[in-house]
Amino acid sequence: MTESFTSSIRILDIKYGTSVDGVGLRTSLYCAGCNNRCAGCHNPQSWDENGGEAIPVEELYRLIVEADMNVTFTGGDPMLHPEGFIELATLIKNNTGKTIWCYTGYRFEDLLQHPVRKKLVELCDVIVDGRYIETERDLSLRFRGSRNQRIIDVLNSLNGSVNELFTD
């Protein structure tokens, strides 16, 4: 690893071996900060962007490599402060074969209009987009909490036509 990264990401929790945040066993990074404040949110402690602990990107990368599982960025909302996640995703993509899922309250189409967020989108394999809407809650859905949320295959959606996965 020759790149030098100085960023850190405020992390509330790291879950190893979880199967609820994407396909297969994953290492999920729960970040601090979310402006959506959705009614019925399962993680309201993540709303405070000053919560958790600032962990250097290089340390997070080391933990991911040691865990040897695919990765999920969640929170909070990783797209609220994408810079550190861009650095981490770059390390993951350049040095491992791991897939990256990212959960966000932003809509995919809106992320593509924001240059910095778009960079993070392009480094992810799957984006789960949309705010959680309590009245659309459905426990039968895979990998999301409400019917309005989409599981998006990023590579096949960057051309402008959104390609959803798991449309159950």
Q: Which domains does the chain have, with CATH numbers?
A: 8-165 (3.20.20.70)
| Cross-strand partners of 128 | 103, 151
| H/E element, 88 | helix 82-95
| Cross-strand partners of 126 | 101, 153
Let me know how long the chain is: 168
Q: Are the C-beta atoms of residues 126 and 144 closer than 8 Å to each other?
A: no
For 29-49, give one letter per residue: b (16+ CB within 10 A) or e.
bbbbbbebebeebeeeebbeb
pLDDT in tens, the chain (168 residues): 445 556 999 999 999 999 999 999 999 999 999 888 877 777 877 887 888 999 999 999 999 999 999 999 998 999 998 999 999 999 999 999 999 999 999 999 999 999 999 999 999 999 999 999 899 999 889 999 899 999 999 998 987 788 878 776
